[in-house]
Amino acid sequence: MKSRPADQLLLLELARLDAAIGHADHARRNPEQTARVQELLAQRQAQSAELTTLLGARDDAQAELARLESDVALVEARTARDTERLATSSNVKEAQGLEHELASLAKRKSDLEDAELEIMERLETADAAVAAQQALIAVTNDEGARASAEGKEAVAAATARWETATRDRAAVAGRVPEDLLAMYERLAARGVGAGLLRRRTCEGCNMVLSGTDLNAVAQAADDDVVTCPECGGILVRTDESGL
């Protein structure tokens, strides 16, 4: 195939834009924040499960404390009733029975109050654990929100780069002869479309041409379209090629 050197030179810009489009498309489809967001979602799920366990423990302590408080109230009511009965009783045997029951009630109330103190300490610890876990979840949520926002910004920026490069590519492609563009597109679809030959090296695949291959390229006319023997891409020759 024949093509003016100036037209072949356009393929380098086309290849650069294709690379930019590919990078931008990958960046907008796979923002680097995605992995961290997924990690944070899994972390929050685990933290929420732990919070549920802690809330259950706190609820159990609160329920037990409420039961003890109810029992204390019953004991106090019974004590008040027996004290009133004792004050008005003239029966010695009844009075002795009431005194014995009051002593038992006093012991029961003391035991319940001791249990209340123990449960209150447990409840205080449970409250602290719940608050600490909620703080951890808040930190995770904050980081997740930041990572998500950064991801959206990265996607928007990559999309803008993709749109710009796509628009620029269309403009450059419109200046390339149809047959040369078709050849480039065919080669690019399977690997390297075009690359600059710079000092014996094909920049499309970064392979150094052998002396024999370089001589064959040097003997080609300026308007011959030659390809790299290594990657098959179009070799664009300039003054930097060293031919």
Average pLDDT, the chain: 94
Domain finish residue from 134, 159, 184: 159
CA–CA separation, 49 and 141 (whole Å): 15
Q: Strand order of the sheet with strand 226-227?
A: 207-208, 201-202, 194-198, 234-237, 226-227
pLDDT single digits (tens) 35-70: 999 999 999 999 999 999 999 999 999 999 999 999
Q: Which pLDDT does position 82 carry in this prediction?
A: 84
Q: Are 180 and 8 in contact (CB under 8 A)?
A: yes
Q: Is residue 89 part of a domain?
A: yes
What average pLDDT score do residues 129-150 get? 97
Q: Which pLDDT does position 77 carry in this prediction?
A: 94
Q: What is the 3-state secondary structure (H, E, C) of 211-227?
A: HHHHHHHHHCCCCECEE
Q: Is residue 164 part of a domain?
A: no
Statement to judge: residues 115 and 142 lie in one domain: yes
Statement to judge: residues 111 and 190 lie in one domain: no
Number of domains in the chain: 2
Burial class (CB in 10 A: 0-12, 13-18, 19+), 149: exposed
Computed on alpha carbons and rounded to an integer, the radius of gyration of the chain in Å comes to 42
